[in-house]
Structure 1
Amino acid sequence: MATRKHAEEPYFTKIAQMSEEAGVQVFRFCPDQIKIHEKTVYGDVFDQQLRQWIPKDFTIPDFIYDRHFRGLIRNSDEISHNIKWLKKNAVFLGHGLPGKYKVFQSLSKIDSLSRFLPPTNKVRIPEDIWLDLSIHSRVMLKPEFGSKGTGIYLIENKENGSLVRMTKKEGGFERLFDKKAALHKWFRYLIEQCPYLTQPYLELSNAQGKPWDLRILIQKDSSGMWTERVRGARLGRAHCITANLAAGAQVIPFDIMLKGFPLKLQGKIQESIDHIIQHLPHELETRIARLFELGLDLGVDKKGDVWILDINSKPGRKIMELLDPDNMHKLYKAPSLYCTFLNAELLKAGE
């Protein structure tokens, strides 16, 4: 299930091509094409003989790999209604995650993970941002449903006003608000567009002052066990506040990032990362819903403390394409293999 019919087309085509061995037939569709009363959907079916997608109406597939992205704002009522209905009439490989605030709230109650979470507050009115600024002096504003670094701002108190910084494709962008009323008005405009969160600014940069973070991609395998697919670092450009690939960050092997820290901290960093990978997926599934894959974004500060920056239940694959292209076939096969596992589990349960 995709946002647009031809979204992620190379990826979906590879999945469909490699599903034949598992005995899985692959369809693609968008949620606005679901016909609830007929229990059908208009989309494409992949023809293994022709090796291409064929448009047609078909009954709702047994299993859904959800790659529909909501963006910064909520889905339309029709799409939300269709997806809610679909979840009652098909088995989703992974149910996805709610907004970032709910996820952080859930994890903050877990002793084994809470120490890796930066303090996170929900913004309801502009005064919430001002309060955090009075406490921390530098605050990150993040959209609750954002991805790829879109809509993230760093607000910093200065002697002559407040500096707002963000990352764009062209590089860093900043604007100084010398009047509180103007910034207050901008805060109000921002939170009217989509829900926002605040977090204290964390110094997550290398020796040259370039922002960097760590992306780890994990998936369930054919036996339903979590497996790490790739671990790589994203190195942003100078004067940027985030290290996002969409804004021109480069990908480097994790080992290179690790060597950027003193030897005495490297063991601590490794241990923290391994701990998060071991516990976080299970805790999320226990408290929220079944998951199929996760992209974990972690930051490491100057003291070697590891922070959970974001958790994406519909992660991209760019880091694996760049760092481990020879194993991309594992990603393409994973959805159909996990389908066969879920099917066997349902048969055992008599469903």
Structure 2
Amino acid sequence: MRQRSHRPLLGIMVTELNRKLPFGSSDFYEHLTYHGATKGLDVFVFSPNRIDWKQELVRGYTYLSERQEWVMKLFPLPSIIYDRCFFNNKESYQQYRYHVSKLRETPHIRFLGYGLSGKWEVDQILQKDNTLHLYLPETCLLTNGIELRKWFRTRSDVFLKPQGGSQGRGALHIHKIRSTDGISSYHIKGRDAHNQPIERDFKNFDSCWFWLRNLIGMRPYLIQEYLTLHSTEGMAYDVRSLVQKNGRGLWESTGMAVRIGKPGSITSNLHGGGTAEDVSSFLTKEFGDSKANELIATLAMLSSRIPPFLEAHHGRLAELGIDLGIDIYGRVWILEVNSKPGRSIFARTHNEKARTKSIANPIHYAGFLLHKKLS
């Protein structure tokens, strides 16, 4: 059945999953449907691979609140697209590439924002800002074993992470143990591509590199200086700051929360079994009142400075999840910037105001773009 709609359509673009309801985050999209209805927007979820370009129709799913279920229908191409596609690898991206490019080139369709490229490209943009540059850890592309060996000449620890990974998958900490006979051994701790914990010891660099090459395969990786981002109790933690465009098309801070990794984890990601806490109380406990206030001011400054600068060099963005680290010396670091952030931290910290705002803002911004387009 074809959906007839005189109201503007917001299409949530997703990658398909092999299950009955072929997409994740259905609770989030259900809430978006509700907020959309209050603003005169019809919301549906679709995969770009389900578009009939001849008829300009797409098979998608809409949530019927009165029946409390998702229903499949045919829709015309949407006026606005909210990109929530997640690609696990290059092959996955290639499956969707043609359709996504075609949607971008369609004149009457607007995207809320365009997804950021990999971590390396983002790092290279941020390096151009003289202030942001001071908060970025030293980073380079992992091209070969010689490059990694060079890093270990001057340090005992390095951090490796995939160029396009998320949720802590594939992140590794390598520690070099210097011995009296001049041959150093190496200890690796982290998570594999499936987010499973791994820990290995190697008697020399060559055996360590051989194992790493097999683990990493062809995936592009970054080498980064290792930062001691641990609480006084020895738990890995960082601060997730969510910034979004509002109904006036302006950037604003939706909220921040501390993410704490489970014991023994090298990252703080919630998908790895971590927890979330309020920023102010956590930092006060760690650093005391005065230093906590100073840190929060720095976190706020970075949260307001990063979005417009990135957008000026990249193109339109709608929201960003900015991950900020604080080392044991109280120095703030920019760890990662994600253009397709989750928002579960606010539910975990029981911050209902920020949680509601985080869901409503994409709808408000979609309304702004539609109004701007019509006026």
Instruction: Tell me which interval the TM-score lies in, with the shorter structure as reference length.
Output: over 0.9
- Conserved? CA contact 1:299–1:307, under 8 Å: yes
Determine the structure 1 residue equivalent to 2:4: none
Q: Provide the C-alpha distance between the structure 1 equivalents of 2:168 and 2:128, rounded to a whole number of angstroms.
A: 26
Q: How many residues align?
A: 348
Q: CA deviation at 1:204?
A: 0.7
Counterpart check, 1:31 vs 2:53: no
Look up the SS of the partner of 1:279 in the other structure: helix
Look up the SS of the partner of 2:281 in the other structure: helix
Look up the SS of the partner of 1:165 in the other structure: strand
Residue 162 (structure 1) aligned to one of 181, 186, 196: 186
- Conserved? CA contact 1:171–1:239, under 8 Å: no
Residue 188 (structure 1) aligned to one of 213, 218, 243: 213
Q: CA deviation at 1:76?
A: 4.2
The runs of at least 4 aligned residues of structure 1 exceeding 6 Å deviation read: 168-171
Determine the structure 2 residue equivalent to 1:55: 72
Residue 313 (structure 2) aligned to one of 282, 287, 304: 287
Change beyond 3 A, Cα 1:16–1:315: same
Residue 75 (structure 1) aligned to one of 92, 105, 108: 92
Which TM-score applies when normalising by structure 1?
0.92
Determine the structure 1 residue equivalent to 2:341: 315
Determine the structure 2 residue equivalent to 1:334: 361
Determine the structure 1 residue equivalent to 2:104: 87
Change beyond 3 A, Cα 1:325–1:276: closer
- Conserved? CA contact 1:36–1:82, under 8 Å: no
Amino acid at match of 2:250: M
Q: Provide the C-alpha distance between the structure 1 equivalents of 2:292 and 2:358, rounded to a whole number of angstroms.
A: 29
Q: Provide the C-alpha distance between the structure 1 equivalents of 2:70 and 2:173, rounded to a whole number of angstroms.
A: 44
For residues 157-205 of structure 1, give each alpha carbon's deviation from its aligned partner in whole angstroms, at most 9, with x where no partner exists.
Answer: 1135111001489996421011333222223224434110010100111
For residues 102-146 of structure 1, give each alpha carbon's deviation from its aligned partner in whole angstroms, at most 9, with x where no partner exists.
Answer: 000010011121111101101122322222222332111000111
Q: Provide the C-alpha distance between the structure 2 equivalents of 1:171 and 1:50, rounded to a whole number of angstroms.
A: 39
Alignment of 1:179-258 (within 5 A): 179-258=204-283
Counterpart check, 1:266 vs 2:292: yes
Change beyond 3 A, Cα 1:310–1:222: same
Determine the structure 1 residue equivalent to 2:83: 66
Change beyond 3 A, Cα 1:154–1:73: farther
For residues 210-233 of structure 1, give each alpha carbon's deviation from its aligned partner in whole angstroms, at most 9, with x where no partner exists.
Answer: 111111112111111222222111
For residues 12-45 of structure 1, give each alpha carbon's deviation from its aligned partner in whole angstroms, at most 9, with x where no partner exists.
Answer: 0111122111110111111222233433221123
Q: Provide the C-alpha distance between the structure 2 equivalents of 1:27 and 1:113, rounded to a whole number of angstroms.
A: 38
Q: CA deviation at 1:341?
A: 0.3
Amino acid at match of 2:83: D
Q: Provide the C-alpha distance between the structure 1 equivalents of 2:254 and 2:233, rounded to a whole number of angstroms.
A: 29
Change beyond 3 A, Cα 1:171–1:197: closer
For residues 252-303 of structure 1, give each alpha carbon's deviation from its aligned partner in whole angstroms, at most 9, with x where no partner exists.
Answer: 1101221101455334312321210121100011010111111111001122
Tell which deviates more after alignment, 149-158 or 262-271: 262-271
Determine the structure 1 residue equivalent to 2:303: 277
Determine the structure 1 residue equivalent to 2:25: 8
- Conserved? CA contact 1:133–1:156, under 8 Å: no
Look up the SS of the partner of 1:181 in the other structure: helix
Q: CA deviation at 1:311?
A: 0.7
Q: Provide the C-alpha distance between the structure 2 equivalents of 1:161 and 1:48, rounded to a whole number of angstroms.
A: 59
Amino acid at match of 2:177: K
Change beyond 3 A, Cα 1:253–1:50: same
Residue 111 (structure 1) aligned to one of 126, 130, 133: 130
Q: CA deviation at 1:49?
A: 5.8
Q: Provide the C-alpha distance between the structure 2 equivalents of 1:70 and 1:322, rounded to a whole number of angstroms.
A: 26
Q: Provide the C-alpha distance between the structure 1 equivalents of 2:95 and 2:54, rounded to a whole number of angstroms.
A: 14
| Unmatched tracts of structure 1, length 5 or more | none
Alignment of 1:109-188 (within 5 A): 109-159=128-178, 160-167=184-191, 173-188=198-213
Q: Provide the C-alpha distance between the structure 1 equivalents of 2:157 and 2:32, rounded to a whole number of angstroms.
A: 44
- Conserved? CA contact 1:215–1:296, under 8 Å: yes
